Amino acid sequence: MRIDVVTIFPEYLDALRLSLIGRAREQELLDLQVHDLRDFTHDRHRTVDDTPYGGGPGMVMRPEPWGEALDHVQAAGRTALAGVSGEDATPHLLVPSPSGVPFTQQLARELAAEPWLAFACGRYEGIDERVLDDAAQRWRVTPVSLGDYVLNGGEVAVLAVVEAVARLLPGVIGNAQSLVEESHEDGLLEYPVYTKPASWRGLDVPAVLLSGHHGAIARWRRDERVRRTARRRPDLAAALDDAALDDADRRVLADQQADPGSARFLPEPPAVAD
């Protein structure tokens, strides 16, 4: 897979040289190229922002450097991908933004099947909307959100999206089974995990996990996944496909929903103003 990232802070992306993703790049499973937006300015101060038309706070990223940067991504990527994806290859442009579509494991899987992704990292109040409109005349363009909070720029979101996508590429993770048995692969959160020692600071590992009864362990883990999902993510619990639940799942889910009890790590819900 080819990935291009355009940013005014290329060093943010240095973290993608580490660990699993760094190794994937060395093995050429992933060709990740980072481009400095300021290299596509032409003024002495390498200016990338200007005041918003219509007024309001903050600054907006100017369209001209973005247009040139994305033209460069097109040309550089096409050369790199020559032969792999044909003469008319274009990237799928992803634009991190609090106003984007939710980034999910499902979207990560879809992106991992594509040959070429590009990321545009906005800063300030965002990128002039015409940059996205112009790119959309040639490329697929998708604004993506990591969640309902605001970051200072798209770079940290790109780190998360690239990691979520790259680890799904063939050969990047040694144990393919660890990709299947993961949160969000089947709509349930993961079960709690423990390692040695069996007792630590007065807290014991649940006895069933030491029992050697594989059937009982599997059932306990399944129950914990259902309970945890109901407690922490009522939105996911409500969306569970009934056909994917067995009778025991349905009982655990109903019990948990009837008696939320001690939701160990959940804060009190915020008071609702009237």
- Which residues sit at the interface with ligand JF5, rule CB under 6 A? 96-98, 122, 126, 145-147, 149-151, 153-154, 157
- Minimal distance, residue 222 CB to ligand JF5, in Å: 32
Q: Which is nearer to ligand JF5, 99 or 199 (CB)?
A: 99
Q: Which is nearer to ligand JF5, 132 or 237 (CB)?
A: 132
- Minimal distance, residue 142 CB to ligand JF5, in Å: 12
Q: How far apart are CA 29 and CA 265, in angstroms?
A: 39
Q: H-type helices in the chain, by residue range?
A: 19-26, 63-80, 105-112, 129-136, 155-166, 177-180, 214-232, 234-238, 247-258
Q: Which is nearer to ligand JF5, 91 or 122 (CB)?
A: 122
Q: Which is nearer to ligand JF5, 25 or 38 (CB)?
A: 38
- Minimal distance, residue 15 CB to ligand JF5, in Å: 17
Q: How far apart are CA 232 and CA 265, in angstroms?
A: 9
- Minimal distance, residue 98 CB to ligand JF5, in Å: 4
Q: Which residue is nearest to ligand JF5 (CB)?
A: 122
- Minimal distance, residue 57 CB to ligand JF5, in Å: 12
> Which residues, 6 or more positions from 88, have their beta carbon under 8 angstroms from its beta carbon?
none
Q: Which is nearer to ligand JF5, 53 or 174 (CB)?
A: 53
User: Residue with structure tokens 């992106």?
Assistant: 111
DSSP string, 163-203: HHHHTTSTTTSS-THHHHSSTTSSSSPPPP---S-SEETTE
